[in-house]
């Protein structure tokens, strides 16, 4: 028992190899209050602590980081004792989330790269072996993410020529790329995201093993895959990221990834691509975006097919509800879509058939729905891909912005716009008359 514990915390002979680091005096324009507070507190408590990873890389590129990560020689339980508002998370490798005001700073302990638990495919299942700064640099994925910044000396510590790779705008794997992808297949998606987001080129040796190893992503937990793909979709450079997906060789891995491949195709108008173009613009303008809306666009093709099939026997609204129900279980369980997003998607989808009803009080009831605006925007998105829906979209645009009297006129006298030829109207079923029961003679 004691031997096992020592093996976990003590570096092996291989991990004791020293790596010569380069020290560059480059003061960074770094003024995030939360991250500075955590770094200062760790220093005052007698520990090493550095800003690390994407934040350093982004600051070098004059990009404002969204997240700030800190690497330290303090163990997770020691970090947790220092900060009252903190929690230890993670199974493969424990890290600490430190809450400062409304921000969360991720604090990780230096890893040794020593004894790790791997499955039969080489994927790292547990990596709670702690070490030094030099050893931690070996455990980072790409050279551009293995840069450490000392806020006191204003120096960037670089063990793998990461600074040169940032200047050359290259994504370069640390160590043997094929082996590192086997350790953690999600690194392939991360390479795609970083190259698209930053405008970096994936270095040839780093890119070469990806097509043959992309199939390893199938064995990853769906929730983890979904989180990484969400980072791609909401990176603010999603269109650029989609162009990089070709390195994955179009492998059937996850329905979301399949939808992303389809969105990357320029052959025909595609709702997912149009939604991403709009999302990128909103993020670049620091506007809010609806995750549920974007996902509703991405999965629309799968839903529309089911809707069309079910309309042969049901009304449009009933067919939509059945189509949503059949897709619901797959989304939340097999695909890893959280319920808070799938609920928004279902509400937007369920309102689409109601736009076809233009007479009487139904348009007024639809206009009062809480999700009307999102559903209307979704109708406009559909009309961009199906021109037969444009008259319907125009009718609803006018209905919203006209007077109450004109609305009444529109719903009573004006003819309905032609419906999309994409869907066939459901045939009404005739009810059979009930047979009269014969009186029972006593």
Residue 314: DSSP 8-state: S
In a domain? residue 328: yes
Q: In the listed set 240, 255, 270, which residue is the last one of a domain according to the structure?
A: 255
If one counts the domains in the chain, the total is 3
Mean pLDDT of the chain, nearest integer: 85
Please check whether residues 201 and 248 belong to one and the same domain: yes
State how far the alpha carbon of 406 is from the alpha carbons of 57, 127, 396, 398, 401, in Å. 57, 67, 13, 10, 10
Please check whether residues 162 and 29 belong to one and the same domain: yes
CA-nearest of 63, 59, 123, 51 to 93 is: 123
Q: Which residues pair with 124 in a beta bridge?
A: 118
Q: Which of 58, 127, 136, 141 is catalytic?
A: 141
Please check whether residues 111 and 251 belong to one and the same domain: no
In a domain? residue 274: no
Tokens of 440: 């029972």
Q: Which residues contact 361 (CB under 8 A, 6 or more apart)?
A: 411
Please check whether residues 248 and 200 belong to one and the same domain: yes
Please check whether residues 303 and 351 belong to one and the same domain: yes
In a domain? residue 430: no
Q: How confident is the model at residue 271 (pLDDT cuts 50, 70, 90)?
A: confident
Q: In this structure, are strands 103-109 and 95-100 parallel, antiparallel, or unpaired? A: antiparallel
Please check whether residues 128 and 242 belong to one and the same domain: no
Identity of the highest mean pLDDT range in 117-121, 147-151, 299-303, 334-338: 147-151
CATH for 198: 1.10.110.30
Burial 318-355 (b: 16+ CB within 10 A, else e): ebbbbbbeebbeebeeebbbbeebbebbbbbbbbbbbb
Residue 24: which H helix or E strand, with range?
strand 22-25
In a domain? residue 408: yes
Please check whether residues 189 and 145 belong to one and the same domain: no
Domain of residue 293: give its range: 284-413
Average confidence (pLDDT) over 249-266: 75
Tokens of 283: 């993020």
Please check whether residues 313 and 398 belong to one and the same domain: yes
CATH for 291: 1.10.3090.10
Q: In the listed set 125, 146, 168, which residue is the last one of a domain according to the structure?
A: 168
In a domain? residue 269: no
Tokens of 35: 């991250």
Please check whether residues 341 and 203 belong to one and the same domain: no
Average confidence (pLDDT) over 359-384: 94
Model confidence at 171: pLDDT above 70: yes
Q: Which of 58, 69, 165, 386 is catalytic?
A: 69
Q: How confident is the model at residue 298 (pLDDT cuts 50, 70, 90)?
A: confident
In a domain? residue 261: no
Please check whether residues 38 and 163 belong to one and the same domain: yes
Model confidence at 117: pLDDT above 50: yes
Model confidence at 299: pLDDT above 80: yes
141 noted as active-site residue:
yes
Q: What is the pLDDT of residues 30-64, one digit of tens each?
A: 889 999 999 999 999 999 999 999 999 999 999 88
The DSSP code sequence of 91-151 is: SSS-EEEEEETTEEEEEEEPB---S-EE-TTS-EEE---B--HHHHHHHSSBGGG-EEEET
Please check whether residues 204 and 290 belong to one and the same domain: no
Please check whether residues 157 and 185 belong to one and the same domain: no
62 noted as active-site residue:
no
In a domain? residue 150: yes
Average confidence (pLDDT) over 259-288: 81
Q: What is the pLDDT of residues 207-228, one digit of tens each?
A: 999 999 999 998 888 888 889 9
In a domain? residue 427: no
Q: In the listed set 214, 240, 255, which residue is the last one of a domain according to the structure?
A: 255
Tokens of 309: 């099939």
């Amino acid at each position: 028992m004691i031997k096992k514990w020592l093996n976990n915390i003590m570096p092996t002979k291989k991990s004791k190899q020293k790596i010569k680091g380069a020290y560059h005096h480059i003061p960074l324009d770094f003024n995030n209050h939360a991250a500075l507070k955590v770094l200062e507190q760790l220093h005052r408590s007698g520990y090493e602590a550095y800003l690390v990873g994407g934040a350093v890389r982004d600051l070098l590129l004059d990009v404002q980081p969204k997240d700030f990560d800190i690497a330290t020689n303090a163990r997770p339980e020691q970090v947790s004792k220092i900060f009252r508002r903190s929690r230890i998370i993670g199974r493969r490798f424990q890290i600490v989330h430190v809450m400062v005001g409304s921000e969360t700073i991720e604090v990780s302990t230096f890893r040794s790269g020593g004894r790790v638990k791997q499955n039969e495919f080489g994927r790292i299942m547990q990596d709670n072996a702690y070490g030094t700064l030099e050893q931690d640099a070996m455990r980072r994925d790409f050279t551009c993410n293995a840069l450490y910044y000392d806020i006191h000396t204003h120096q960037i510590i670089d063990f793998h020529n990461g600074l040169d790779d940032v200047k050359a705008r290259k994504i370069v794997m640390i160590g043997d790329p094929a082996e590192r992808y086997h350790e953690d297949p999600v690194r392939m998606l991360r390479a795609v995201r970083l190259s698209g987001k930053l405008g970096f080129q994936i270095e040839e040796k780093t890119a070469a093993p990806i097509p043959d190893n992309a199939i390893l992503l199938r064995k990853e937990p769906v929730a983890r895959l979904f989180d990484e793909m969400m980072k791609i979709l909401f990176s603010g450079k999603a269109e650029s990221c989609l162009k990089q997906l070709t390195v994955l060789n179009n492998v059937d891995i996850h329905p979301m990834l399949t939808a992303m491949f389809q969105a990357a195709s320029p052959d025909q108008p595609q709702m997912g691509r149009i939604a991403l173009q709009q999302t990128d613009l909103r993020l670049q303008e620091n506007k809010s975006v609806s995750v549920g809306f974007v996902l509703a666009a991405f999965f629309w093709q799968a839903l529309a097919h089911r809707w069309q099939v079910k309309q042969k026997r049901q009304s449009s609204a009933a067919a939509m509800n059945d189509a949503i129900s059949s897709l619901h279980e797959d989304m939340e369980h097999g695909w890893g879509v959280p319920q808070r997003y799938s609920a928004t998607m279902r509400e937007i989808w369920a309102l689409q058939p109601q736009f076809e009803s233009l007479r009487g009080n139904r348009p007024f009831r639809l206009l009062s729905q809480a999700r009307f605006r999102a559903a209307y925007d979704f109708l406009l998105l559909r009309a961009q891909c199906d021109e037969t829906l444009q008259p319907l979209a125009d009718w609803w645009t006018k209905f919203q912005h006209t007077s109450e009297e004109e609305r009444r006129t529109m719903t009573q006298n004006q003819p309905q716009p032609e419906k999309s030829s994409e869907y066939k109207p459901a045939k009404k079923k005739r009810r059979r008359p009930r047979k009269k029961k014969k009186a029972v003679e006593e």
